[in-house]
Structure 1
């Protein structure tokens, strides 16, 4: 086989591997924090992480193979951050799983029922981004509050993040996550009986979903909106910027069905990849755009391989110094917080509704069993309709 022919295969395959590594290392801590915040124990969080990995891998491989486009999928990182904000609400893990199922069904329905997609598109972008920024705020403060309580653990993570950010920004968060995991491994190894208590093999734990109005309004609806506005719509835009007109209906049906299937094992939501999508769709995946679909398949296969170590990563994270993994999760979301806030407050005529939405979402407000994300949307939309439209 000639070197040119080898390169035609190796470039997109390597791009897919990098896409999976960056996607996984950049945000697995956010997912774990989110699942545990809404009631998952260690085994259930490990199951949810594995369910997300498997469903997004299958969806990415199938969509890329059928469409011959580099369609990569990922877990909903903003959605996981929203779960952190929903922690402490008056519902349990089974009800949270029921909300995951409802959110996935709504995503699937946007592919089956076009008017539903248009309804989501009608939500002002500034309000949706302000809600996301408010949800992210508390989690993004954790690295700096933890610096005052466990500086010996968080300090090295912050230093590595800053140094790598200066020279290779794309790898800054994965590098920081790797350091956090390294510190966690050392901490666990130093505990006398820690090694014997770790459950390293990945496995799925099936959950019987329960449904409650509080969980649906506090998790399902905000999770659906955040996943659509912050992941699926931008994911489509990224693919289009590289010349790929990915099928909207098929993508939503696939990721929605994957989210429903994964919910029974604790997965919250999967969606089209947004930021990491450029790694598989851009020039790094090879000079021939018609062959970059291979990167989408390679990414999915790589995720499955990463799933084999998901149990070990959850176990190590559980044994790490308290606050270390949430601090790493906060670092992973700083970029998303910055872009969401910039977008939310960019238009002076819509700034009041965005500000109110942001503050309510960040406050942790709970009224009548309904969480802050729900009331943030309500408050922002009311101000938008009653005040800003008159200006």
Structure 2
């Protein structure tokens, strides 16, 4: 009596096997055809083609390596700055500037000691984030193979090779935002001093397009690739901090500048929160949502960058923070930023918020972003009173 049932399932599995075989054959057919054609050619043709294939394989191996290995990635990177050991705010003079007499009989006068001021931790962290993005790692967004995509398909529409690029762009967003604020407010006394030329150049270079390679479809002439512009911005930021340390530049650590800085950052991560909410609410593809990882890692990169920059701001504006009584709130905000960096899933899932099979990593990241933004808004309101 069971024979017809067994035979039915045998036919079902046989049909599935034939279907899988046909799919595999269809996928392999172009490669088998090309291999047979290659075998039938002479060495005059085989040689150049073989060399080209080896170079192409090496090119892809390098690309895969760069997209999968995140050199220098460390969620606790801010600990290396020892910000808790700093005793004064950025731009404050620490020593020098006075001349002392030695032996009056000899009539010799000692030259004044060089005047020194406190470097800006914000500028140091911003420059180091650029170094992390384009020196310690290859800048993925402007790599040729990333621009070519997967058989013409944008890597962002696939589950592979795009996570690091999205993370780097998230970090870069924090750098751009900070560079703008350094020029407009932090690096000058508004209304009484001019714009610092080093910071202005850094801001301009950081606004450069993120995806430029040596050549492009819009021009036959060679171009300067994106990472070179960012490296120039990094050098200008370090130049500014060197001048600040020599008391030849200005860091204006007033409370209204900190208010504006927090306001800009909260608006920035608020925009990211809206993007995550839209993706989480209207595209519940679970593990099969190929764009969820882009949104997640961009937001992660943004929080990674702001974790360092806001920690540095706590050192640069330490006197203001303590005077206005927001030190506990500031410390809690930094802790929440660090907590968000603990979320590092191997595969990003955009499941339904009320689902029970597939997790919802986007909603979790959105929750952390809103917590951080809420604290920033609260601190801004306290400072503005």
Q: Same fold (TM over 0.5)?
A: no
Q: Which has the higher contact order (CA 8 A, sep 6+)?
A: 1
Of Structure 1 and Structure 2, the greater helix share is in 1
- TM-score w.r.t. length of structure 2: 0.30
Structure of larger gyration radius: 2
- TM-score w.r.t. length of structure 1: 0.29
